[in-house]
Structure 1
Amino acid sequence: MQERKKLIVLIGPTAVGKTALSIRLAKKFNGEIISGDSMQVYKGMDIGTAKITKDEMEGIPHHLLDIKEPDEAFSAAEFQELVRGKIEEISSRGAIPIIVGGTGLYIQSVIYDYQFSEAGGDKEFREKLEKEAEIAGNEELHQRLNALDPVSAANIHPNNVRRVIRALEVLHTTGKSVSEYQSQQKPELLYETALIGLTMEREKLYSRINRRVELMMQQGLLQEVDTLWNKGIKSGQAIQAIGYKELYSYLRGEVSLESAIEQLKQNSRRYAKRQLTWFRNKMSVEWFDLSDEAEAEKKNKEISDFIAGKLNLK
C-alpha cells in the first residue's frame, strides 16, 4: 500500500490568528502554505479577504493566491483538484503541505475521500432549473434551496448557481439533502493529517473582528472595492464575499458608509460563528484555545508538539 502523504491543516474562524501561526509552523516543519480560503484566489481582493502580504510570508512559499479574476467563478470541485495537485507537488519536494483557511466545505472536500458524484443526476430537472435561474434570478433559486435544505443554502453563495442547482438536484433524485447524503458515507482521510482548529472566547473574538474591520477601512478597503466597481464588476461570486457586498450596497447608494461598516462587522461575526459550527460538526479537529495571549508561547509549543506526534515529525 502506498504511504499516505503528510498534511497539516490549520482551520478556525476569521481573525483568530491563523496566519501568524501558519508561518511559525511552516518554518518549524519545512512547510509550504496552501490557502484554504475560497476568496483569496481572486486578484485585487487583498484587504477584504485579509490576504497575507509578501512581508508577512517571511519567504515561505504560498499557493492558490491570486489565481482568478474577480469576475470568474470558483467551485469546491476546482479547489479540490488544484489543492490535491499542490499537495503532491509540495510533498515531492520533501516539504510538508499546510492548508490554512476558514472555508470548511472546500477543505473538507480535499482531505476526505467523498464520492460526491455518486448522488443521482437528472439532466432534464437540471436544465429546467437553469432556465428558471435565467428568468427568475439567482436569489429566487437560492431561496427555494433555503426552504428545502437550509444547511446547504447557508454554505452556498446565491450567485453560485451551479452549486445551488446541484444541491436541489441531489435532493430531487435521492430525497436527501447534500449534507445528509454525505453524512451517510464513511469519509476516510486521504492523507496522514494533523487537523488543528484555533478558537477563542466569543467576546474576545468578536472584538478582534470589529477591530480588524476598522483596520481594513484604514488600509483602504473602500478604495479596493471602488476599483472593482469601476472595472465594471457589478455582480458575480467574488463580490458576494463579506467585506465587498456591504460596501457595494454603499456604492449603489442603498446605505450610508457608517451603516455598511456596521453591517460588515455584524456579517463577519455571524460568519465566524457559522465557521465554528461547521468545523465542530463536520470534522474531527484538535482544538486549541488562544484566548489568553499571555499563554501564546505555551499554546504554540502545544500545537507544534501535537503535530510532531501526530505526523511523526521532528
Structure 2
Amino acid sequence: MDVAFSLPRQIRPLLNGDGRLFRQVAQKEKVVVIIGATGTGKSRLSVDLATHFAAEVINSDKMQVYRGLDITTNKITEEERCGVPHHLLGFAHPDSDFSAGNFCAMASVSLKSILGRGKLPIIVGGSNSFVEALADSSFRSKYDCCYLWVDVAMPVLHSFVSDRVDKMVQRGMVEEVRDFFNPNADYSRGIRRAIGVSELDKYFRIESFCDEVTRSRVLAEAIDMIKTNTSKLARRQMEKINRLRRLKGWKVHRLDATEVFRRQDGEADTAWDDLVAGPGAALVSEFLYSLEPLVCGGVKEMRGRAELLAAAATH
C-alpha cells in the first residue's frame, strides 16, 4: 500500500473501525538513513522508499557531491531518480574540498526544507564518515533516525564491482576522466580523490608516446587497479559500519541483498522486492507510525502492532 506521508507534529487521536481510540505519540522529527558498501543498491532502495512514502533524498556520498565525473562516481541518473528530488548531489565545485563539516551544515538546511514541506528525508550514501559526523552533531537531539543497512556478502559484491567497472568503461569512464586530466593536478583534493582518477594518470601520461600494445597493457592495468581499489573501499565501508554498530551502539537494521546479486533479470527484481524493498518499507512504516493506546475512562486498550500500523496508514 502506498502511503502519503505527512509528519505528525502533535498527538492526535485515531479512530479504529471498532470505535476504539488510539493516539499517535508526538516525537522528534523522523529521518531515514540508508548505509552500505559501494554497489549494494542503496540508491535503488532510497528511490523505492521515496516513491512509497512521499520522501526526498539527501546524498551523503562524499564524491557524488561534486559536479562532473557522473559515470566515474556512479551518480544516480535522472531516469533512475524516478522524479524523486535529490539534494547535495553534483553541486560542489570539483576542485573544492567539501568536508564533513560542510556536509553537516548543508544537510541540516536540506532536512529543514524537506520537513517543512511535510516530506520524509532519506539520507543515503557510502561515505559513513559524513553520516557519523552528522550523528555526532546536534542532529540526534533534533531527529529520530531509522538506520537501514543494505548488505551483500563480500565475495559476491567483489564480483559485482568488477563487472560494474567494466560497464562503466563501456559507458565512457576513461573519456570522462581524460577530460579532467591535469598533469599538475593534486589528487588529494576535490573530485580527483574519486577512484578511477589517479589510477588512470599513468595511462594519460604515456598514451600519446607509445605503441598500441603498450597503451592497451597500461590501460588494462589501470582498470584492474580501479577494481581492486573499489573492492578495498567496499571492505573499509563494511568495517566502518560494524564499528559504528559495535562501538557507538547504532541500532542498524540489516537488509541482506546477497541473493539479489546471485540472480538474473526478473528473478533478481523479485528477490529485491522480497528481501530488500519490502522489508525496508515495513521497517520504515513501523518507524514512522509509532502508536500507543489512548486511555479512555481509565481503560488502556491494546492492539497488535500490525493493526496499529494499518490504522495509521489509513488516516
Shorter-chain TM-score bucket reads 0.7 to 0.9
**1:105 aligns with one of 99, 111, 129:** 129
Matched AA of 2:196: G
Q: Deviations over 1:81-110 (max 9, x none)?
A: 000110111000000010110100101111
1:260 aligns with 2:229: no
Task: Report 1:17-56 matches (<5 A).
Answer: 17-56=41-80
Residues 33 and 146, structure 2, Cα contact 8 Å, conserved in 1: yes
Matched, 1:288 2:274: no
Question: Does 2:195 correspond to 1:242?
Answer: yes
Alignment-derived partner of residue 221 in structure 1: 173
Give the aligned CA root-mean-square deviation in angstroms. Answer: 2.3
> Is 1:198–2:150 an aligned residue pair?
yes
SS of match in other structure, 1:7:
strand
Higher strand share: 2
For the 8 Å contact 1:33–1:60, the answer to whether it is kept is yes
Deviates more, 1:271-280 or 1:238-247: 238-247
What TM-score do the two structures reach when normalised by structure 2? 0.72
State the SS of the aligned residue for 2:102: helix
Residues 200 and 291, structure 1, Cα contact 8 Å, conserved in 2: yes
After superposition, what is the alpha-carbon deviation per residue over 1:112-141, rounded to whole angstroms, capped at 9, x for unaligned?
A: 337xxxxxxxxxxxxxxxxxxxxxxxxxxx
Q: Distance in 2 between matches of 1:61 and 1:231?
A: 37
Structure 2: state its 5+ residue gaps.
1-9, 11-25, 208-216, 261-266, 290-311
Contact persistence 2:47–2:84 (CA under 8 A)? yes
Cα shift readout 1:21-73 (whole Å, capped 9, x = no counterpart):
11110001111011110011111120111101111111100011121121111
Return the offset for 1:189.
5.7
Q: Which has the higher helix share?
A: 1
Match of 1:309 in 2: 286
Residue pair 1:5, 1:192 contacting (<8 A) in 2 also:
yes
- Partner-residue secondary structure (3-state), 1:194: strand
Give ranges in structure 1 of 5+ residues lacking alignment: 115-186
User: Structure 2: which amino acid aligns with 1:306?
Assistant: L
CA contact (8 A) 2:38 2:234 kept: yes
Aligned counterparts of 1:108 and 1:189: Cα–Cα separation in 2: 14
Do the aligned residues in 2 keep the contact of 1:242 with 1:267 (CA within 8 Å)? yes
Q: What is the rounded CA distance, in whole Å, between the counterparts of 2:106 and 2:71 in structure 1?
A: 24
CA distance in structure 2 between the partners assigned to 1:79 and 1:73 by the alignment: 11
Give the drift of 1:248: 2.2
Deviations 1:142-192 (A, max 9, x none): xxxxxxxxxxxxxxxxxxxxxxxxxxxxxxxxxxxxxxxxxxxxx956411
Counterpart residue identity of residue 77, structure 1: G
Give 1:133-152 correspondences, 5 Å limit: none
Q: Is this contact kept in 2: 1:112–1:189, CA < 8 A?
A: no
- The residue correspondences of 1:27-176 to structure 2 (distance < 5 A) are 27-113=51-137
| TM-score, length of structure 1 as denominator length | 0.72
- Percent identical pairs in the alignment equals 32
Once the two structures are TM-superposed, the CA of residue 263 in structure 1 deviates from its matched residue by 0.5
Equivalent residue letter for 1:59 = G
